[in-house]
Amino acid sequence: MASNLEELFRKSKKVFRSPNKTPNEDNKLDQIIKMMHDLTKETKNLTTEVKEIKNEQRKYWEELNDLKTELEKVKQENQTKHKEKEEMKKELNDMKIRVQRLEKESKVNNVVIQGLTIDTIDRNALKQAVGNFMEKEMNSNVQIEEAHKRQ
């Protein structure tokens, strides 16, 4: 067995020891280590910045969502006000029609008498004077509900 081992060692290649490092190589290694340290530091700084940016972005998203919610609320209020406005327009139109109809009905039984000289503005005295005039001049007994004098 010993002879086998010797034979194996004889057939193998001889390897020489690595040469000793020179000061220039040590300097390069120090530079590489420093660069790696600087890169690690820069990576940590970038990671911190990314976290800050993500935090700001999250705040902006929250603010945007709040604004969207507020916009929806304003839209709903606007829609409600629009409905109220339309209802009020319809009600106003209905009232205009009603006033026109009432004015028309009130004019149906009106009689305007011109040229009659009555020196009072008392409504009862006016009713009496107009009633007397109608009876005397037209031989008609008319019931007068209301009388007023134009100025």
Per-residue pLDDT of 64-98, as tens digits, reads 999 999 999 999 999 999 999 999 999 999 999 99
Q: Are residues 52 and 70 in the same domain?
A: yes
CB 104 within 8 A of CB 121: no
Residue 97 forms part of a structural domain: yes
Cβ partners under 8 Å of residue 28, min gap 6: none
Residue 104 is predicted with a pLDDT of 82
CA distance 42 to 48: 10
Nearest to 146 by CA among 116, 110, 113, 115: 110
Q: Are residues 86 and 144 in the same domain?
A: no
Q: Are residues 103 and 133 in the same domain?
A: no
Q: What is the pLDDT of residues 23-66, one digit of tens each?
A: 677 788 889 999 999 999 999 999 999 999 999 999 999 999 99
Residue 14 forms part of a structural domain: no
In this structure, what token pair is assigned to residue 133? Answer: 């005039």
CB 149 within 8 A of CB 129: no
Q: Are residues 38 and 65 in the same domain?
A: yes
Give how many domains the chain has, as a whole number: 2
